[in-house]
Chains A and B, each alone.
Chain A
Amino acid sequence: MPPEEFTRPHDVLVLGAGNAAMSAALTARARGASVLMIESANRDIRGGNSRHVRNIRYSHNAATDFVTGRYDADEYFKDLMRVTDGNTNEDLMRFMIDASEDCVDWMLAQGIKFQPPLSGTLGLARTNAFFLGGGKAMMNSYFKAAEKAGIDIVYEAEVESIEMDGSRFQAAMVRHDGELHRVEARTVVLASGGFEANIDWLKEGWGDIAENFLVRGSPMNTGKVLRSMLDNGAKPIGAPDQCHAVAIDGRAPKFDGGISTRIDCVIFSVVVNKNGERFYDEGEDIWPKRYAIWGRLVAKQPDQVAYAVIDSKSMGLFMPTVYEPFQSDTLAGLAEQLGVDAATMEKTIQDFNAAVQPGDFNATEPDGCHTEGVEPKKSNWARKIDTPPYYGYPVRMGITFTYLGLEVNRRAQVFMNDGKPAENIWAAGEIMAGNILGQGYAGGTGMAIGNVFGRIAGEEAARHARN
């Protein structure tokens, strides 16, 4: 038996139930449309990667209760142009940034709560508004608003494929309770995120090493909707083999490890692979991108694992970690615990120590403390690893999101390969973020893209359905 909601006609079908999906569903409902949301997760992990977020980057012309100062559209634009290296649809980017100005007010109106800027806001207190309690609290407010608005939501319902007639959406094939159901609606909004939790798909771009990637967010984001749309002739955008990834603790769960597993100590460390050898300049001054590059660097090492080694001098200089570090009074002892070749690691660190040049160490900015005569060199924060106890963290690549998505226009309409927009299909959020973020990332942009295009998609779909 299909759930009763599947058989009732709806104006707008929304696939997914994260930030983008909610932005679309609530907007469509407010315009009078009947809305059905299909969410593959259960109630405990509903809301996709949006339940792991912390903040939203939006343009504003003055300080508010939630941000410490002005961050206008021009500055936002410059920042995104820089991180994407111009790999973007400038027109859409500009449009998204301008529209982001009322994201926070709109979210407040849905009952979402923000916190005042506090000490721990990671240097983003001016540019980003922080959700009180983070993404899960935000999603709880969203679901409450959706229930109140009379939006139908079916949990544990996974879209397997999309049925189309030319450029027209007909129905979604949805698996619920072990059975496949055909769910029709007048229009559809695709908001089911990326495919970062689909290891098989990641292998297409990365090869077998993807087996060892850890997924920071929801296990639900397998990209089935995206794949089906591409099969139906929708036009792709963004690099198919690229993803945003950071260095996280190797002991993190396979899925849903979220924010707490990241490893911040790389710049103070000597990072070795399992053979005990260094492989990259740990002190390269590339903030804020340094987190992003270390994911990839580690992924290229044997077994896709590396070990960040520090001594007691550096303890306390970085965010505390979710797992205790391995600890030993000797480097050999530490190497043994980490499962690294001890003789090589000791030699690597000896050579490193011998190459460290004198300088004034400064934890908070590039300090020029560097090495000479080792390959690779360490160009900042280079201090001898010589004061026991020694600490080590295993590091793996944690994938945040994928870049491949569907091409859209300002109205969030999905393009088909013939260059024309599909009739009744809109997309929002991660599934189309590649239009704006061709590469790179600036924290908080994901929420803005999802909200701006989600609202547009909801509005357009509602209007289309009710005409």
Chain B
Amino acid sequence: MPETETLQEAKRVMQICNACRYCEGYCAVFPAMNKRLTFSDGDVTYLANLCHGCQGCYYACQYAPPHEFAVNVPKAFAELRAETYRDYAWPGIFKGLFEGNGKWVALITLVLTIAVTAGVFMVQGADVVAGVHTGTGAFYKVIPHDVIVYLASAPFLFAGLAFIVGLVTFWRDIGGKPGELLHPGALAQALKDAGQMKYMSGGGHGCNYPNDNFSMGRRHAHQMTMWGFLLCFAATSVATLYHYAFGWEAPYDYFSIPVILGTLGGIGIVIGPIGLLMIKKKADPAPQDTKRTGMDVAFLWLLMLTGITGLALLALRETAAMGTLLAVHLGIVLGMFVTFPYGKMVHAVYRLGALIKFAHERRS
């Protein structure tokens, strides 16, 4: 990593904070900072990914602009995170996708959605796609099961690989020892902190938005989004199990486990992102990295569209709209999977890494 202006700014700000320390009650960043006297590239990269952008320390800062120290921790860290996402992208040739990320994600998703839909119409013919199919295996009359599986799992597994490569490199650069990444105790602690989104709770009172107002709204909206996504993932996993282990074919009953999980999850990834978008719209731009708004917004829309098309598919699965909806839903999900390693989703990877590191530091 070459020393960039962003790294320099993060170090400058951390040196001031470390002589002040007033904000230690907000989150994990300050206790982690306290343990250091100087800040290496890896140190500030770690701290930036530990920061949950609650903005508490910006409104609390007596050195915030217009003070000559011009301390703006959330902004400095958000800008540094953008570099993390780009620098650890694997394979490296795709780093460029993080410049103007929103447009890339939108374009890729649009192209894939059109391609899948057009492909299905061409291969199956409009009669099949626009026909009404019910009963076991209805979906697969429009798109064969194997096609769905190969189409979705290839980018999904590739994303998983890219995440692992990114995480391992990131872990090394922030000074983690190889064996410690999967240390059960630390991992459990990190998953708990992530699961509860502990550090979006600003010392117990929530994030600060749209100004110095404390609110749990952002945390709750993220919880809905994240848990919604995880429920969707769980739904798909259960369905896969049904299919291969028990030979039960979709569509499943409205009160079956995959459908209940998927419905709840789908609602989560629609409502959560709506909340996050609303917060984004109202929020004060000063403590944010506004250059990355496009990346956030694209990911939020991607999740929403996944949820909306999924829920629509559920609602209309016994009508003539099912075939088209299935194709569009699959296209959007493909867009999401393909752009996973080259979009906002990577935040979860590096944040988890940072939380694991913090869990280790807290023990020592």
Interface residues of A (CB under 8 A from B): 44, 51-52, 54, 113, 115-116, 118-120, 130-137, 140, 144, 253, 256, 258-261, 315-316, 319-322, 324
Contact = CB atoms under 8 A, between A and B. Distances in A.
| Of listed A44, A52, A116, A136, residue having the most chain B CB within 10 A | A136
Contacts of A321: 19
Given A120-B34, A132-B205, A320-B37, A44 B66 contact: yes
A444 to B, nearest CB: 14
B189 interface: no
B26 A320 contact: no
Interface string B13-30: 001101111111110000
A130 B69 CA distance: 23
Contact of A133 (B15, B18, B60): B60
Nearest to B59: A140
Nearest to B62: A136
6 contacts: A119-B34, A133-B56, A133-B203, A137-B56, A140-B59, A324-B15
A133 B22 contact: yes
B16 A115 contact: no
Nearest to B20: A260
A260 B203 contact: no
- Do most interface residues of chain A lie in helix, strand or loop, or is the interface mixed? loop
B25 A115 contact: yes
Contact of A260 (B16, B24, B205, B212): B16
Nearest to A54: B22
A118 B31 contact: yes
A156 B34 CA distance: 37
A259 B67 CA distance: 14
A44 to B, nearest CB: 6
Contacts of A324: 15
Contacts of B57: 133
B5 interface: no
A131 B66 CA distance: 23
B152 to A, nearest CB: 45
Nearest to B56: A133
B60 A115 contact: no
Contacts of B216: none
A115 B24 CA distance: 8
Contacts of A256: 62, 67
B23 to A, nearest CB: 6
A320 B22 contact: no
B140 interface: no
Contacts of B31: 118-119
A134 B203 CA distance: 13
Nearest to B61: A136
B48 to A, nearest CB: 19
A336 B67 CA distance: 31
B153 to A, nearest CB: 47
Contacts of B37: 315-316, 320
B213 to A, nearest CB: 7
Contacts of A258: 20, 62-63
Contacts, number: 88
B30 to A, nearest CB: 8
B59 to A, nearest CB: 6
Given A51-B62, A140-B59, A133 B20 contact: no
A54 B37 CA distance: 21
A315 B203 CA distance: 32
A253 B67 CA distance: 10
A118 B19 contact: no
A51 B62 CA distance: 7
B68 interface: yes
B23 A134 contact: yes
Contacts of B203: 113, 115, 132-133
Contacts of A119: 31, 34
A417 B146 CA distance: 96
A134 B71 CA distance: 15
- Which residue, of A52, A132, A136, has the highest number of chain B Cβ atoms within 10 A? A132
Contacts of A116: 25
Contacts of B62: 51-52, 134-136, 256, 258
Nearest to B67: A256
B59 A137 contact: yes
A161 B153 CA distance: 77
A134 B19 contact: no
B23 A133 contact: yes
Given A120-B21, A131-B22, A137-B59, 14 more contacts: A51-B62, A118-B31, A120-B24, A120-B34, A132-B203, A133-B23, A133-B25, A134-B22, A135-B22, A137-B212, A140-B212, A258-B63, A315-B37, A320-B19
> What are the nearest 5 A-B pairs in CB distance?
A115-B25, A133-B60, A134-B22, A137-B60, A322-B19
A135 B63 CA distance: 12
A308 to B, nearest CB: 15
A367 to B, nearest CB: 22
A54 B21 CA distance: 10
A130 B25 contact: yes
A320 B212 CA distance: 28
Contacts of A115: 24-25, 203
A118 B24 contact: yes
B335 to A, nearest CB: 41
Contacts of A319: 19
Contacts of B213: 144
A256 B67 CA distance: 8
Contact of B26 (A51, A52, A133, A253): A133
A144 B212 contact: yes
